A = this chain, B = another copy of it.
Amino acid sequence: MKARVHVMLKDGVLDPQGEAVRHALGSLGFEGVNGVRQGKVIELDLAGEDPAAAEAEARKMCEALLANTVIERYEVEIL
């Protein structure tokens, strides 16, 4: 069972990495880049065949380790 987790900074939290990418794209000649937000994508290969159980487990992993829930939000997708 595969789960894909997206971890992004919450809206309103400054994203210095995203800003750096935006500036770099500008200096490479890419116009029209109004904003860039960068986060993590984590693909989990989990034992078991029950999607609901896999999603619940992945959410627990996000709360325990994968996301800093003070400044980050996460989405879990079962593939």
A30 to B5, CA, bound (A): 16
- Say yes or no: A21 contacts B64, CB within 8 Å: no
A39 within 8 Å of B (CB atoms): yes
**Contact of A40 (CB < 8 Å), options: B33, B41, B47, B57:** B41
Per assembly, the copies of the chain total 2
Flag whether A73 is at the interface (Cβ < 8 A).
Answer: no
For the side of the interface on A, what is the size category? 20 to 34
Say whether B40 contacts A36, CB under 8 Å: no
Does A38 count as interface, using CB distance less than 8 angstroms? Answer: yes
Q: Interface of A with B (CB < 8 Å)?
A: 6, 8, 18, 21, 24-25, 28, 30-48, 57, 60-61, 64-66
